[in-house]
Amino acid sequence: MTDVIVFEHVRKEYPDATVAVDDLSFAVHEHELLALVGPSGCGKSTTLRMTNRLVQLTSGRILLDGEDITRVDAVGLRRRIGYVIQHVGLFPHRTVAQNVATVPRLLGWDRARTRSRVGDLLELVGLDPDRYARRYPHELSGGERQRVGVARALATDPPVLLMDEPFGAVDPVGRRRLQVEFRRIQRELGTTVMLVTHDVDEAVRLADRVAVLSRGGHLEQLAPPVTVLSSPASPAVAELVGTGAAVRLLTLGRLEPEDLAPLTAEDVRAADGLGAGGTRSDAVVEVGAPLDDVFAAVARVPGGRVTVHRDGAPVGTVDADGLVAALHRVTGPTPS
């Protein structure tokens, strides 16, 4: 496993003696999405900005592909790293196409190559180039502006993308949609991403691993989302996760065949009575469905037992006990 970004005992202390980050060591693996999460004042954004030298570290080292970032040209470094912030920072007097083309033009790309790349990226983020390329930022919704910001950050196909509260200014429905779309794009491109968020739900939904920071920039835990939720490494992590850990775990798991109870004759008759194809939506879920969808179905069906289908045919049932067992399967054995 290749480490793309490495922090080695990094410290950031400001002239007034405020310590934002203290002895921070961790690595971001190639192609992964690592989320930094923690309370206000824990140094999340400072950590991100030290990576592209928008903030200068006090001591320690940050390596990008094995190279000390303080020994390379800062402008050149930033052109190798995509950067997306909460309020996007689009140039208001430039069109969508011109905004996306900012870095390619700085790098001297010709017009044909730039135009082709802009069109490809707008399609990638779900914006029709024919409809959006000539629009200005003020003509876009918040979610559309955020998509343009992502497209601009990806314009030169950077191997690393830094994101600071990228979806925070978008309404909840649009935010969820953007999260799903961005995760698809990240997996498709294989970009290494370090994302800052204050939202635990966003962190566990998007990240391959979650780094939990506490005040003063201390690393409390670095682990996959399921581990952070099910086995907090410290009181600070437990406090951040709060009482909603089980609900968040539901979003991470999928219903598997081993979670099902066998179909009884009564279940088969009930499934046959659902109508053509036996697919009444409130009484049926599919193998592989997210556990939060299964929970919703179990909660609304009288009796709390839901028929489970695979490829249109009933293969078993699931109830509250089965759902709890599925959660135990997802979390695995708790470390001693």
pLDDT digits (tens, 9 = 90+) for 251-273: 888 899 999 999 887 766 666 65
Q: What would the two tokens of residue 264 be?
A: 């009884």
Q: Is the pLDDT of residue 335 over 50?
A: no
Any idea which of 16-25, 30-39, 148-157 has the lowest mean pLDDT?
148-157
pLDDT digits (tens, 9 = 90+) for 188-201: 889 999 999 988 88
Q: Is the pLDDT of residue 278 over 50?
A: no
Count Cβ atoms below 10 Å from residue 156 Cβ, excluding itself: 16
pLDDT digits (tens, 9 = 90+) for 69-116: 999 999 888 888 988 887 667 889 999 999 999 888 888 899 999 999
CA dist 333 and 94 (Å) reads: 54
Count Cβ atoms below 10 Å from residue 142 Cβ, excluding itself: 16
pLDDT digits (tens, 9 = 90+) for 283-303: 688 999 988 889 988 888 888
DSSP-assigned beta bridge partners for residue 194 = 34, 162
Q: Is the pLDDT of residue 280 over 60?
A: no
* 3.90.1140.10, 3.40.50.150, 3.90.1280.20, 3.65.10.10: CATH of 257-331: 3.90.1280.20
Three-class SS of residue 136?
coil
pLDDT band per the 50, 70, 90 thresholds, residue 58: very high
Q: Is the pLDDT of residue 221 over 80?
A: yes
CATH class name, domain 3-251: alpha beta
| Strand order, beta sheet including 284-286 | 284-286, 306-310, 313-318
The ranges assigned to domains in the chain are 3-251, 257-331
pLDDT band per the 50, 70, 90 thresholds, residue 136: very high
Looking at residue 273, its pLDDT comes to 58
DSSP 275-287: -GGG--TTTEEET
For the four alpha carbons of 194, 195, 196 and 197, in that order, the dihedral sign comes to negative
Q: Look at strands 81-85 and 160-164 and give their pairing.
A: parallel
**Range 206-229 average pLDDT:** 93
- Which are the contacts of 173, defined by CB distance < 8 A and separation ≥ 6? none
Three-class SS of residue 5?
strand
pLDDT band per the 50, 70, 90 thresholds, residue 225: very high
* DSSP-derived secondary structure letter, 113: H
pLDDT band per the 50, 70, 90 thresholds, residue 279: very low
What's the pTM value of the predicted model, to 2 decimals? Answer: 0.79
Which ranges of 135-190 does DSSP label H, i.e. alpha helix? 142-153, 172-189
Q: Is the pLDDT of residue 336 over 50?
A: no
